[in-house]
Structure 1
């Protein structure tokens, strides 16, 4: 609470009279101390991610009492002792428990010999309700002050809005030519025009997108992207560094994404084949970025042109959503759709748009589902030959009906993937591309499911590396616990 001032990493269910927290992502938040038992009071919590922090002590057994918990990610901390028996049991009946990267944690056995080290009472040191209340109060006061400075204009809520705005610079035409060495190195081309590699005075590499005179999208979309990216910030959205509107030169300057776009990385012409766990991580990153646009911005934002060529990868394979020229924000938070002229890309466009002329958040979810199928199969959304045009879903469905997961997954992976995570991934993708929008999941649910996919794959890799259990046994346990089942064709 309140709904209009949501924090990144917090997902709530507003369908009840009192909003309830359903997901907390506090990964890489520099948390220290022990895990507070207060988390067990969040009775509707489905996912808790405390990975990549510096948490110590034991895992509270009280977390097993959360009835809806599906994902508990404690990877990369300094936890010790044994895993509570109640959590072990819950992990066999639907809970995905990720504990890698805790050297002092006994993942097998009871650690009885070291029990004396861990009898200290749990101390609440992550966050308390009182501290949260104070932070929310301060945030509200800061927001109200910010609104006064904007003279009542509507702005999109963003955790780092002020910081990002201060970074956005106005560049002259001469500066843009200097940055790009007079447009020496072309690195791409989109609807606006060509994209060039640049380097700022401090050595930072950037991508410079020019608006060409023959651009199909035009100045309105160019302005839309510049305005939108100056107001929002998320680690899974490409950041805008500056812009140029000088004479006949219009350009947007972005952070440079060294690995290029996902479509090119999936191409059979690319000699570096994306591993299965890399594809899962890319999907999870992109889902988090879309979740921020849909549920973290007030009013929500529809991307309207989500596709593999608009997913960019950094040097360390961190995925970010790009190209916001066609994006639209709702007029207010209660709107359900936008009536719009044709937008998007053939093959990714929501089938309901052709019938109603309306786009909504679930339209982006459809596009995201097609993107997931591309990641899984390596196929393009639409394959055009001299005598036919084939959509990727038409290629997948017959193989899905035969239950042949090996025939669906990109053959270049040579079978190096877990069948459990592959079936789960396909199930997510098929749920996203159902013809009826209301049947598609909210992207926040997709984020949770994709994290479960990552957990499945990590568990198999961990088991194989330690030779504790075989991947076949693990996949059988997933099947028996109901964690996945082959989805039906849509």
Structure 2
């Protein structure tokens, strides 16, 4: 959509003639004129099909101090416009209401053969096209027309009124026909008369007007010599079902002077059903656009038509529409937070994250009564977060995100930022002490890291470890000759097994034809031998017997998360169980990233790799594609393409490196699957959609009820759901640098869990979450 904003000196509640002209000059080399839609404000004016020097006029009563005329590309060529004119009219002529407008169908100067008449002869710059019919007799006069008469409010030009056409005798009516283009047309006619023939004394022309054979336009009326008269059609308009329409001027009964007509206008009435966005919201959005020089395609009305609403904006279906969410994340905003945001009174979600905003966090944002989400991450805000916002966040009424603002503190007043009032000797002594302490700590850290690296290196030198080693014959016995298949993966089949003490295990057997070979098999075995955590699957033992390779794990009785989220699963996971699983998985991933030295990235995190034991405790599995960093300070590992479509970090395709943030992205997609019950790739009849493409519009509309899995039937805590949505969105941001670390993700998910527990269901949740989710302790690698 491309809009032209017209601002007359006196716009609101005044009437204007708007004219658009189109002259196609083969500018695109296609030698075929385009077709496109023309909008008047928030309503469709018409479809432009004729661009051969064609003029389109409309008469409109403005409800604001400006009007937008917009060109909309409908896929049939690039829209263009040659001229756009705005002419003020007297409010007493062409009666219309704000709910409609008059589109010009035809305007004719009867009995004339001269050139087109317009401004300055017509004070309103109407275009009068000459017309002379062979069946009518032309009439003209050189006498002066009383154009300033009180009966000439329409102020027709004298040149138009000095010509006319009449029938040959009084028995023949003067008729004008036209064919509507619409199926349900509504037309108004304006007939302009002036008696320009010098009649015999005592004679006077008397006429009647018939509209489409349905009714008379008025009672009979008489024409006075050289005095203008306009007959205006009252409601209802002329209408029909698509046939030819007409008006007929007749000599009044009993009179002998034939009917005459100087000029006529025919207008098609168009309804303007769409109401523009509430004026206060429009004013606020325009102020925001101007202050930040927003480069998005913000043209026309912010909300209407809904198909062309401003990018990042979502509006209500009220009349008039209101702005309910605004997303300006990563929009290069600079300067302080505009007070205009506080004028968007019905806004539920405001996202200003990852810009360059500075200065304090405005207290006026407290005054937004409907605000549910405020995201200010990744800016350069200073000072304290207003206490009222903090209180709303603590009460669960507001999802507040302010991290990654280094100089913003969560206390009022800010603590820990005292002035530098130390005397020089004390300062010098303090610096010396700090430096000595730094060197001591650094030396200890280097020594401990070297010892740990040596230990890990020794542990990884071969598969042998303290884990039990099984022969192939033992594996055959454990699995009862591979009788029961419980899963299938990249290595091959997974079988149910039982040890001597009746402990059930899962046996992953490496198939010679598997997509993953011995290298990945060995990687998984080595990794699970040196890392131990309650939310990582436990390796019981392994088999490395010639060509036979197998890994023996603890048995996870409740399968994997993908099975539980499937629409075919009759046992729907409750919201609380989903939260517990999310916290469990976050525990495991956070341990891999921050509890291991060097850190480990999983590289193939997805619901099928999150297993659930008998108590529904979640554990991360399938480490065949996992990689450890070379050192603690590394930021990524270079790798060949791995992972699963739908869960792979979009930056991987660009840089070919996996990072911790790549796992975070995958975790964000898993969170969305837990929230929505939908898979990462949503299959469709025509095309497949990624879950982010499906959920993003709903988040923009703040539609949490349609975001959360409908199988929950509304049984979930809305505040906690919004918090998890916010966490998932932050994890799945397109730029890795914008994503939080797993420590932060884990902490925020725990807050969600705590929030649900405070709502009077602590005992039941504790039963559902008999996992590490209820603890803060973390296992340490051996």
Same fold at TM > 0.5: yes
The RMSD of aligned alpha carbons is 2.9
Which of residues 709, 714, 727 in structure 2 aligns to 1:415? 714
Q: Which has the larger radius of gyration?
A: 2
Instruction: Name stretches of at least 5 consecutive residues in structure 1 with no aligned partner.
Output: 1-88, 98-135, 157-163, 466-490
The 2-side partners of 1:236 and 1:464 are apart by 22
Instruction: Please name the residue that 1:233 is paired with.
Output: 532
Whose helix proportion is higher, 1 or 2?
1
Distance 2:679 2:470 in 1: 37
Partners of 2:459 and 2:526 within 8 A in 1: no
Q: 1:146-161 residue pairs with structure 2 within 5 A?
A: 150=455, 153=457
Query: How much has 1:389 moved relative to structure 2?
Result: 1.3
* Equivalent of residue 657 in structure 2, options 350, 358, 362: 358
The 8 Å contact of residues 418 and 460 in structure 1, kept in 2 or not, is answered as: no
Using the TM superposition, give the Cα deviation of residue 146 of structure 1 relative to its aligned residue in structure 2, in angstroms: 7.2
SS at match of 2:576: helix
For residues 296-315 of structure 1, the aligned pairs below 5 Å read 296-315=595-614
Contact 1:209 1:252 in 2 (8 A): yes
Q: Distance in 2 between matches of 1:356 and 1:144?
A: 30
Q: Give the structure 1 partner of residue 69 of structure 2.
A: none
In the alignment, which of 396, 400, 410 is matched to residue 699 of structure 2? 400
Q: Distance in 2 between matches of 1:363 and 1:148?
A: 24
Other-structure match for 2:750:
451
Distance of 2:453 and 2:624 partners within structure 1: 28
More strand by share: 2
Does structure 1 retain, via aligned residues, the 8 Å contact 2:459–2:465?
no
User: Distance in 1 between the 2:500 and 2:664 partners?
Assistant: 40
Q: Decide which of 636, 644, 651 is 1:345's aligned counterpart.
A: 644
User: 1:428 corresponds to which residue?
Assistant: 727
Report SS of the residue matched to 1:209. strand
* Mapped contact 2:529–2:539 kept (Cα < 8 A): yes
For normalisation by structure 1, the TM-score amounts to: 0.63
Distance of 2:451 and 2:657 partners within structure 1 = 33
Deviations 1:16-60 (CA, angstroms, capped at 9, x unpaired): xxxxxxxxxxxxxxxxxxxxxxxxxxxxxxxxxxxxxxxxxxxxx
Q: Say whether the 8 Å CA contact 1:211–1:249 is kept in structure 2.
A: yes
Query: Which residue of the partner structure matches residue 583 of structure 2?
Result: 284
1:191 aligns with one of 490, 493, 500? 490
The residue that corresponds to 1:486 in the other structure is none
Alpha-carbon distance in 2 for matches of 1:286, 1:178 = 33
Query: TM-score normalized by structure 2?
Result: 0.40
Q: Residue by residue, what CA displacement relative to the aligned partner does 1:208-242 show, whole Å, maximum 9, x if unpaired?
A: 00111111011110110001001100000001010
Match of 1:293 in 2: 592
Closer, same or farther: CA 96–212 of 1 in aligned 2, 3 Å: farther
Asked if the contact 2:536/2:619 (under 8 Å) is kept, the reply is yes
CA contact (8 A) 1:299 1:333 kept: yes
Report deviation, 1:147. 6.1
Query: Does residue 514 of structure 2 align to residue 215 of structure 1?
Result: yes
Structure-2 change in CA distance of 1:326 and 1:231 (3 Å): same
Distance in 2 (alpha carbons) for counterparts of 1:148 and 1:391: 41
Check 1:204–1:436 CA distance in 2 against 1; reply closer, same or farther (3 A cut): same
Q: In the TM superposition, what is the alpha-carbon distance from 1:245 to its structure 2 partner? A: 1.3
Q: Distance in 2 between matches of 1:169 and 1:326?
A: 23
Highest relative contact order (Cα 8 Å, sep 6+), 1 or 2? Answer: 1
- Counterpart-to-counterpart distance in 2, 1:234 and 1:265: 23
Of 629, 652, 655, which residue of structure 2 is paired with 1:330? 629
2-structure distance, mates of 1:315, 1:456: 26
Count of aligned positions: 328
Query: Measured at CA, do residues 245 and 384 of structure 1 come closer, stay the same or move farther in structure 2, by a change above 3 Å?
Result: same
**Secondary structure class of the residue paired with 1:259:** coil
Shift of residue 456 of structure 1? 1.4
Q: Does 1:252 align with 2:551?
A: yes
